[in-house]
Amino acid sequence: MKYTTLPNTDIRVSRICLGTMTWGRQNTESEGQAQMDYAFNQGVNFFDTAELYPVPAHKDRYAETEKIIGNWFRKSGRRQDIVLASKIAGPAPFTEFIRTEGFKPSAILEAVEGSLRRLRTDYMDLYQLHWPERSTNYFGQRGFSPDPNEAWKDNIREVLQTLQTLVQEGKIRQVGLSNETPWGVMRFLEEARAHPGLPRMITIQNPYSLLNRLFEVGLSEISHRSQIGLLAYSPLGFGTLSGKYLGGQKPEKARVTLFPNYNRYSNSKAIEATEAYAEIAAMHGLSLAQMALAFVNSRPFLTSNIIGATTIDQLKENIGSADIELSPEVLSKIEEVHRTIPNPAP
């Protein structure tokens, strides 16, 4: 396993991060615990979760994933060996059963206390805002369209002040963003710079894969110049980049089979690009999944690649991508496809 550190900290994390959002819905608790055991034994020391998980979100399964992780900590005694990240859910129709306060101080405090209780820990190493409160482009929206009826008022300083309190209390160590735009990242950095003592965002958890490289437009320069590390999620595009859906296949128990509305990476152009990438992988003796993950692992702005799996075999293949170095020829072929079909699945 390769390791790096969370930007501007001495917190050492594996280049592969274990994603957990299927545990409690697509995976049972015992399967989730088996994944944690295997990943840990392979050198993965970074786990990412959220109060929203498992997905799709439902009030009857609220925060089951955090409970599964907490039970593993209690059983294994490995809390001190793991860098643990979680997130507060943002406002949306599908999170109204959680709360409707957005990121008001009371909401953040409630969310953190709930996560700590379920995770059976007294601190989280990284705490993230799952998506912005304001109306902007995320979750598959390519461009920004202003909402003339938006009620959001800029409360970013207040959010950071609340997080500052939690850092001072030792309940969270570092803070990060998720599903954020260049404007949002710079706005948070601006407040932290203008008011010494406020916590500085150190990571951004955004989608990044062969089918969605929009992070490279704007955010990659911010990452480089302001030292904000990418935690790449959906590096396989809901499993699309494993190739298992090619040819119209619908594998039993696969995410897109179970939840057809999860079609973000399944449009005609994304399928065309996936077919082209599959040809490159086959030509060079690679599995499509490992080539796709190795590409993400190779990016200079990456801090950690969040992989997810529903079976141990998938997990083995995904973690194994950490040992793969793509040749210049493979990278050149990937760029040819990208130039022809750029970012088909925002």
Q: Which residues are catalytic?
A: 53
Q: How far apart are CA 280 and CA 122, in angstroms?
A: 47
Say how far residue 231 (Cα) sits from the centre of its chain: 6
* Residue 133 CB-half CA count within 13 A: 17
| Structure tokens belonging to residue 14 | 């594996």
**Three-class secondary structure of residue 204 per DSSP:** strand
Residue 19 pairs in a beta bridge with 48
Annotate 149-203 with DSSP letters as a single string. T------HHHHHHHHHHHHHTTSEEEEEEES--HHHHHHHHHHHHHSTTSPPEEE
Q: Please report, as a single letter, which amino acid is at residue 37.
A: D
How far is residue 147 from each of residues 93, 137, 139, 150, 186, measured CA to CA in Å? 16, 11, 16, 5, 21
Spell out the residues 6+ positions from residue 50 whose beta carbon is closer than 8 angstroms to its own.
21, 65, 66, 86, 87, 89, 128, 130
286-296: string of b/e by CB count within 10 Å (b at 16+)? bbbbbbbbbbb
How far is residue 304 from each of residues 6, 82, 102, 260, 327, measured CA to CA in Å? 9, 14, 27, 28, 21
Q: How far apart are CA 51 and CA 94, in angstroms?
A: 13
**Which residue spans within 23-156 are E strands per DSSP?**
46-48, 83-88, 124-129
143-157: string of b/e by CB count within 10 Å (b at 16+)? eeeeeeeeeeeebbb
Residue 128 pairs in a beta bridge with 87, 176
